[in-house]
A and B are shown apart, each in its own frame.
Chain A
Amino acid sequence: MSYLLQYNYWIVMVLMMIGFYIVISHGNLVKKLLGLSIFQTSVFILYISMGKVEGGTAPILDEGIVLYSNPLPHVLILTAIVVGIATTALGLALVVRISESYGSIEEDDIQKMDNEQC
C-alpha cells in the first residue's frame, strides 16, 4: 500500500520516458533536441521531488520556521538547468550548420546522402 504514495515518482518516470522516446523515435533533428530537453527537465523534476519535505518551506532562513525542504537538490538542479541550455544551444548551432550543408534536418535524408557519398 505504501507503494501508492510514490505516485509522484511514477509520473516523473513516465515523463522521462516520453522525453526519451521522443529523442529516439523522431527523425527530425530539432525534435530530437526538444525531446532531450523534455527528458532532462523530467530528471530535474525527479531531483526536486526528492528534496521536498512534507510541510516544509523554501530553504530561505527566517525566524519561526523549523522545517525547510532540502536545499542540496535545488543547487544541483540549478547547475543542471544551465548545462541543459548549453547543450541545447550547441545542438541548435549544429542543426543550423547541418541544414545549410545537407539541405535537410531529417535523419533519414542525411543518412541517405551520406551513404551515397561513401
Chain B
Amino acid sequence: MTVLLDLLSWVALLLGSFFLIVGSVGLLRFPDFFTRMHAAGVTDSLGAGLILFGLMFQVDGQWIVLFKLLSILFFIWLTSPASSHALAKAALHHNQQPLLGDEVRNRKQAANE
C-alpha cells in the first residue's frame, strides 16, 4: 500500500515538475503576450497543482497537513485563473492584439533574416 502511494506521489511530483519546466520554456519561447500567458497558466494550475497533489500522498496520517495542502490548492486554483484573467483584460485594454496564423510566421521570418 505504501509503495503504491509513494509511486503515485512520485508520478504526480515528476509530472508537476515537467509542467513547470514546460510552462517556463513556453513563457520564453512563445511569440506573443496571450500565448505566453497560456504557458504561464500551465505552471500555476497544472504544475503547482500536481506537485501539491503528489505531496498529499505523503501526509502519513497528519490530517492537518492534508487540510493545509488542500487549502493551498483551493486558493491557487482560485487566484491563478483570476489573475490570468486580469492580465488578459489589462492587455486588451492596452490594445495588445493576439498574433494570428500568418503573422506569427512572418514575424519569425523577419527575426531569422
In the complex they form, do A and B come into direct contact, defined as C-beta atoms under 8 angstroms apart?
A: no
Name B's A-contacting residues (CB within 8 A): none
